[in-house]
Amino acid sequence: MTVAERDRERVASIERHDRRVRLWSLAGALALAIGVAASSLGEVLTEGSWWFPLMAVVVVALASATAFRNVNARAAWGTAVAAVTAGALLVLTFAADTAIAGIVPTGATFARFAELVRDGDESIVTQRLPANADTGIVFIVCLGALAVTLAMDVAAFVVRKPALAGIPLLILLLVPSFVSSELHNAFVFAATALTYVVILLVASENVSARTAWPLVSVALVVSLIVPVLLPSVEAVSEGGNRPGLISTGVNPIINLSSDLRRGAPLLALRYTSEDTGEYLRVAVLDEFGDDTWRPTERNDLSSDEIQAFAKPVGLTADVPRTENAMQVEIERIRGEYLPVPYAATGISGLEGSWAWEAEGLTVSTETSNSRDQQYDVSYITPTPSIEQLEAAPTTLPEGYENYLALPATLPAVVAETAQEVAGSELTRFDQALALQSFFKDGDFEYSEDAPLADDYDGSGAQVLAEFLTAQSGYCVHFASAMAAMARTLDIPARVVVGFTPGQRNVDEETDEATFVVTTDNLHAWPELYFPTIGWIRFEPTVSVGTEPRFAQSTEDDPSTPDVDESKPEPVATPTPAPTTTSAARPDLPLNEQPTAPTTSPLATSPLWWMLLALPILVLIPALVRLARRGLRLSAVSRGAVAPGWREVRDTATDLGFDLSDSATPRQQYEHLVEQGAVSGSTALAAMLASVEIAAFSPRNTRLGAWAVTAALASLRASSSWRARLRACWAPRTAFGPVDRTVWRWSAKRKA
């Protein structure tokens, strides 16, 4: 090898090294910017575990694309490699069990993805802010991050306009502001602006401190001003007609107020029953704290015998009961709890893995979902008599002191009111009835708005004093107050969240009764414990639900031969009248009532808006380039010549021909001939002649727009279809210098 060859090889090696450094540096800057901008999602999502899978997708996509570009100069193929590798990571993370070798997707993989998107969108719609980042939301976040990454990769490496990378970055940054204008974070804005400057500096070949510091300063100023100037977005009100599903999460009572304040009712479920309608229990809340009631975390869940439950706790053989069955069809409920009547003895037909809890006889899952479930429930209805309830012992089983626990912050007025209302009663059952009558027959009124307006909304200890003073609230307040007051009287109590029976519809042909349950039937009520009998439902809420009725006696009275008192009257649950809403139709049964207008996921999820916006952003360069071509042709049709040649030069550049902006039109034409763009006498040669005559001849020379379009057609005809496609959708000259001569010439013509 000669010295010259070694020198050339050394220079080429240095150039390859510099290229690799620039590629990896720019990819790293893009990943850094996305990671910083994505932290803005912390305003709408809880914790931060979602950030790590998001960044894994970003890093894998950019790293694979950069590694490919180090061995292959075709930048667009690098983006394709990024999409494939990041897609394989999504398959491995979210649907490995449906894929070949864990990464090659199948039809089942895409079905799983569709299910995750649906779950995530429903979760986004139904949760309150900040939302819990469940699996569906994390998948949508990763999908959105991949879309942003690919868009920025195309801008930086394919189009070679790194400045355009700021558009998808800005969309990602503004996601919280799409939800509410108050959710922006000025610090994140500033940090993202700095990372954007880093992208510009890394992508620039000639960088100096003199040019860098002004960019940094401007970025900081803009990042601090933009959040203040963001347009105001109406916050989601608690009582709006928010579409979506009823979400029964870890603690359903937290979101119950929002669900109760919906507008038109949403269909929750249907069930058929041989008997009267039933209260359906979703969750049992037995821990009472300063801020709310919550369910105890239990380790005694049983999933082995979901078709056969244990008998209800405390229920003895002396208590009469009836055996019943119902078929339930879930419509618009999603979550980890399953609506069942008390006391369930077995369930069949469920899909997924479910478990039941012995103390509360609730049914829950860790891996499945209540949505779209159809199942059969067998259950018993205890029918104790008043005598049995009054004779119930006062000694509690071991461990039941937990149902008497009260927070230290409980206002004294709660216990004082309980003593005043029921302290003089002889039995605990009489005390329970007295507490129920205190709310039902007193001066209390049902209101979903008063607690919110007077700032005592919620179910914790602190709000009870305000509720007892205002004597106005909804089911959560009534249930919480009665349960807390019962505990002060040493009566074990807990709060249950679920549904009232719903509206009964009878099929005229089969006489089968179907109960329709909507969001209007969402409810909370207290349950009190009586030894030898078990847990008994009470209903303190005014104008909602029905009070339980008990048999009068378990012995036949000989003085009333026409009445057999030995047969206790069943615990009847009359069906309440449906609640009327502004959207209700009095001429239609409830199962045909119009529900709240459901909005497409694309209109409800900010992340979906981001995914929708990205394809539009991809079209921006093509639209800008089309507009510039239109302005130039318009100027040519009015007598200008130079704009026509600029359009030819830019079109040739878009098609991949190498032209120098400083060269003369003749030199540029010759360069095109050398690169095989034109040959012989063509429309382009004729146009060049007109341009040179206009430049050197004293007489006015006109150039028709048709001549320009013919020259452009000649250039396209000499290019490959790939080059033409790239020039159309990713033009390099879309954001070049402004063609000032067009404006100056137009202004001169107008003058």
Q: 3-state SS of 250-307?
A: CCHHHHHHHHHCCCCCCEEEEEEECCCCCCEEEEEECEECCCCEECCCCCCCECCCCC
Pairing mode of beta strands 522-530, 493-499? antiparallel
- 391/371: higher pLDDT: 391
Q: Whose CA is closest to 187, among 226, 230, 218, 215?
A: 226
CATH architecture of 246-549+575-597: Roll (3.10)
Q: Where are the domains of the chain?
A: 3-229, 246-549+575-597, 618-750
| Poorest-pLDDT segment among 333-337, 397-401, 405-409 | 333-337
- 21/142: higher pLDDT: 142
Q: Whose CA is closest to 528, among 563, 495, 550, 497?
A: 495
Distance CA 670, CA 667 (A): 5
Give residue-wise pLDDT tens across range 655-713.
Answer: 888 888 778 888 888 888 888 776 554 788 888 888 888 777 766 667 778 888 888 88
Q: Tell me the mean pLDDT in the region 595-602.
A: 39
pLDDT score of 172 = 82
Residue type, 453: A
Residue 143 gets which letter from DSSP? H
The answer to whether 551 and 383 are in contact (CB under 8 A) is: yes
* Number of C-beta neighbours around residue 548 at 10 A: 17
- 443/258: higher pLDDT: 443
Give the chain's mean pLDDT: 77
- 117/124: higher pLDDT: 117
pLDDT score of 184 = 57
The answer to whether 380 and 261 are in contact (CB under 8 A) is: no
pLDDT exceeding 70 applies to what percent of the chain? 74
Residue type, 530: F
The most confident of the ranges 312-316, 490-494, 739-743 is 490-494
Q: Tell me the mean pLDDT in the region 23-32.
A: 88
pTM over 0.85: no
Residue 246 gets which letter from DSSP? E
pLDDT score of 725 = 86
The most confident of the ranges 451-465, 482-496, 585-599 is 482-496
- 10/355: higher pLDDT: 355
- 84/594: higher pLDDT: 84
pLDDT score of 492 = 94
Token duo for residue 115 = 């299910």
Give residue-wise pLDDT tens across range 259-316.
Answer: 666 556 778 889 987 667 889 998 888 888 887 888 887 665 555 567 778 888 888 8
pLDDT score of 418 = 93
Residue 489 pLDDT exceeds 70? yes
The answer to whether 231 and 181 are in contact (CB under 8 A) is: yes
- Distances in Å between the Cα of 282 and the Cα atoms of 209, 295, 494, 705 are 64, 11, 13, 73
* Number of C-beta neighbours around residue 554 at 10 A: 17
Residue 748 pLDDT exceeds 70? no
Q: Tell me the mean pLDDT in the region 453-462.
A: 75
What are residue 297's phi and psi, to 5 degrees?
-75, 120
Distance CA 326, CA 513 (A): 11
Q: Strands across the sheet with 513-518, in order?
A: 344-348, 374-382, 321-330, 267-273, 513-518, 503-506
Give residue-wise pLDDT tens across range 66-85.
Answer: 999 888 878 889 899 999 99
3-state DSSP assignment of residue 377: strand
- 453/528: higher pLDDT: 528
Residue type, 659: L
Q: Whose CA is closest to 484, among 414, 541, 432?
A: 414
* Number of C-beta neighbours around residue 418 at 10 A: 23
pLDDT score of 623 = 77
